[in-house]
Amino acid sequence: MRRTGTADHHTRASVTRVSLTVDFEPDCPPYLSSTFRGVEQGAPALLDLLDRRGVRATWFTTAEVAERYPAAVAAVVQAGHELGCHGVTHTAFDKLDERAAQWEIETSTEVLRTFAPVTSFRAPYLRFPEKYVPLLSAAGFTLDSSLAKYKRAYHRRREHAPLTRIPASVTSSVLRLPRAIRDPWLRALADPVVLFVHPWEFVDLRRERLRLDCRFRTGTFALNALREVIDLFVQRGAAFLPMRELMTASKTA
């Protein structure tokens, strides 16, 4: 039975816009960055899940992945997802001087734009010095998602017109927490919600010598957890939007 009055108003007010993003990169940088099991095994499983759930995501992709696995990147684009930029080599930009940062941005842009229009950017490790932000506008980017609400840099951010900056809401390992901890955390997030995952999370890395948050509950568990997260937001009436569309919706809201 359809609810009316105050309860129905509350249901409408709780609807959020959600953007699911994917950092398409080598395996768990910097620990396993010479392997690409996430691209080879995790990405196809993730694409299948998103297709079954009707979710279009933004795949922030390194030029290294695009050059090594052009068919994998083409599959992302053909499935209707937005292609975003994640640099060339998954090097932290705060370790680069301005000339090297500009090379990373311009080179990755040139490679990725052979697959699709690319106007959204995310720096590796969600670390991007403010002084390099103007390089993004110069390269034709209109959206930056290199900030994270749980990092100190978010609170020191500046606006850089005409670039729109939309931060990640939580770190990816939150999505793999037990449901009793995870779901209340996700329900409390402010609109718009920006989630991110890595295809290597959907490969079983539990026996690898990695930091705990990089290896715990990886593989099939992580894929099932993401399905539960998608369903949680869908049940709340949330709309899943690629970052480019989220930017447009945010400007008109």
CATH code of the domain in which 223 resides: 3.20.20.370
User: According to the model, what pLDDT value does residue 152 have?
Assistant: 82
Please tell me the predicted confidence (pLDDT) of residue 1: 31
160 in a structural domain = yes
Asked if residue 3 belongs to a domain, the reply is no
pLDDT of residue 162: 84
| 232 is a domain residue | yes
- Cα 207 to chain centroid distance, Å, stands at 25
Does 186 fall in a domain?
yes
Count the domains in the chain: 1
Residue 10 falls inside a structural domain: no
pLDDT at 160: 76
pLDDT reported for residue 252: 60
* Residue 58 vs residues 80, 88, 180, 209: alpha-carbon distances, Å: 10, 17, 28, 29
**Domain that residue 161 falls in:** 15-252
User: Quick one: pLDDT at residue 11?
Assistant: 40
The reported pLDDT for the residue numbered 251 is: 67
Kindly report, residue by residue over 84-115, the tens digit of the pLDDT. 999 999 999 999 999 999 999 999 999 999 99
Residues in the chain predicted with pLDDT less than 70, given as ranges, are: 1-15, 161, 251-253
pLDDT of residue 7: 37
Res 148: pLDDT: 95
Is residue 148 domain-resident?
Answer: yes
